[in-house]
């Protein structure tokens, strides 16, 4: 194809597919997705309100949980508009700048969640392995700095991807086979040399998910070593129970990611709708499950939620 047929990125209009092969069932498919979005938005919103309003929850562990809920809300909002536009109104067009912005925020909040999970693992590590210094290490000012560092590091890692996307040119195909814009899909449509884009995308994934998961595993090896050194079984159980919510959250984040990578790499023979639904579910499962995990496993949060939702009956324990 001649260079004259190339179109600069600023004038491109992409077309989102929805769920390939199931276009006629978009209205039905929208029902479970709407339920998931409602659960994620309301669950994380309630958790965030509770953590802000309840002064007895103003502790480092709950500060990190509030950051996690914020990233979950941002991740849901990043995909909500385009997904519901497709399922409800069959609105598939999205201009290049809006597409790049959506790509950036999806990857930013995903990277931030991975970094927050690492910060929470460090919090548990200090609380169990060095409890006498917990209050002096995790001060309010340091947690604010951590929150700022999480935001800045995610932006710095992903900004080069956005800048390089703007340098691409596109040929005749503008169809993205998802319900939202995603970096690998955009660069595959380019007729420019996109090797640098692919390398930087893989590097960003390794730096965020890969490195963070390695450090999380290292922290938990040290935590388990400390727990097993406790003489009393009651102390072991109490220490381990403080980690169960975070372990569940880490599992919910990384297991779907590994399944998604496996499907993308070896699922060439699977129906097209599987390749579309899997990423959608990956982006929704952690925001849906995280507030459920913490509200079920953490007694203080359960009580605070009941106090906010049912103030007249808050004196009744559950």
**Is residue 177 within 8 Å of 17, Cβ to Cβ?**
yes
Domains (range + CATH), the chain: 9-313 (1.20.1070.10)
**Is residue 19 within 8 Å of 276, Cβ to Cβ?**
yes
Give 174's contacts (C-beta < 8 A, 6+ positions apart). 12, 13, 14, 15, 189
Q: Is the pLDDT of residue 313 over 60?
A: no
Q: Is the pLDDT of residue 56 over 80?
A: yes
Question: Would you state the pLDDT for residue 219?
Answer: 94
Question: Would you state the pLDDT for residue 312?
Answer: 66
Which of 162, 250, 240, 243 is CA-nearest to residue 212? 250
Higher pLDDT, 305 or 215: 215
Higher pLDDT, 84 or 192: 84
Question: Would you state the pLDDT for residue 268?
Answer: 67
Q: Is the pLDDT of residue 256 over 90?
A: no
* 243-251: average pLDDT: 89
Report the range of poorest mean pLDDT among 74-83, 269-278, 296-305.
269-278
Question: Would you state the pLDDT for residue 294?
Answer: 87
Report the range of poorest mean pLDDT among 142-151, 240-249, 304-313.
304-313
Question: Would you state the pLDDT for residue 10?
Answer: 62
The strand pairing partners of 62, in sequence order, are none
Report the range of poorest mean pLDDT among 45-54, 74-83, 266-275.
266-275
Q: Is the pLDDT of residue 53 over 60?
A: yes
Q: Is the pLDDT of residue 223 over 60?
A: yes
Backbone angles phi, psi at 173, to 5 degrees: -95, 125
* 221-237: average pLDDT: 88
Q: Is the pLDDT of residue 221 over 90?
A: yes
Question: Would you state the pLDDT for residue 21?
Answer: 72
Which of 58, 220, 249 is CA-nearest to residue 144? 58
What is the rounded average pLDDT for all residues in the chain? 84
Which of 311, 294, 310 is CA-nearest to residue 302? 294
Find the radius of gyration of the CA atoms of the chain. Answer: 22
Percent of the chain with pLDDT strictly greater than 90 = 22
The string of pLDDT tens digits covering residues 258-300 is 887 777 666 667 777 777 777 787 888 889 988 888 888 788 8
**Is residue 216 within 8 Å of 121, Cβ to Cβ?**
yes
Residue with tokens 């420019």: 192
Question: Would you state the pLDDT for residue 266?
Answer: 67
Task: Look up residue 71 and give its two tokens.
Answer: 């990233």
Question: Would you state the pLDDT for residue 191?
Answer: 81
Assign 318 a pLDDT band (cuts: 50, 70, 90).
very low
The string of pLDDT tens digits covering residues 161-209 is 888 888 888 876 688 878 888 888 888 888 877 788 888 888 888 888 8
Q: Is the pLDDT of residue 12 over 50?
A: yes
């Amino acid at each position: 194809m001649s260079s004259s047929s190339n179109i600069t990125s600023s004038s491109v209009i992409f077309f989102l597919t929805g769920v390939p092969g199931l276009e006629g069932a978009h209205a039905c498919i929208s029902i479970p997705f709407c339920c998931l979005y409602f659960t994620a938005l309301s669950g994380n919103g309630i958790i965030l309100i509770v953590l802000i309003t309840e002064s007895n929850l103003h502790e480092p562990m709950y500060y990190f949980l509030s950051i996690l809920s914020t990233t979950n809300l941002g991740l849901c909002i990043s995909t909500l508009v385009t997904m519901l536009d497709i399922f409800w109104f069959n609105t598939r067009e999205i201009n290049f700048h809006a597409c790049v912005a959506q790509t950036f925020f999806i990857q930013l909040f995903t990277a931030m969640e991975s970094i927050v999970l690492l910060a929470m693992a460090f919090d548990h590590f200090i609380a169990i392995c060095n409890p006498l210094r917990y209050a002096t290490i995790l001060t309010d000012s340091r947690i604010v700095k951590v929150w700022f560092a999480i935001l800045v590091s995610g932006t710095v890692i992903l900004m080069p991807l956005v800048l390089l996307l703007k340098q691409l040119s596109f040929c005749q195909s503008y169809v993205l086979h998802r319900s939202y814009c995603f970096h690998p899909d955009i660069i595959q449509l380019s007729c420019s040399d996109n090797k640098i884009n692919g390398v930087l995308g893989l590097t960003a994934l390794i730096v965020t998910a890969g490195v963070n998961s390695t450090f999380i595993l290292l922290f938990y090896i040290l935590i388990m070593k400390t727990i097993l050194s406790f003489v009393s079984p009651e102390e072991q159980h109490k220490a381990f129970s403080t980690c169960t919510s975070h372990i569940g959250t880490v599992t919910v984040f990384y297991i779907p990611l590994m399944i998604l990578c496996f499907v993308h790499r070896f699922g060439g023979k699977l129906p097209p709708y599987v390749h579309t639904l899997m990423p959608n579910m990956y982006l929704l499962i952690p925001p849906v499950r995280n507030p459920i995990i913490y509200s079920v496993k953490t007694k203080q949060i359960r009580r605070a939620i009941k106090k906010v939702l049912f103030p007249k009956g808050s004196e009744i324990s559950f």
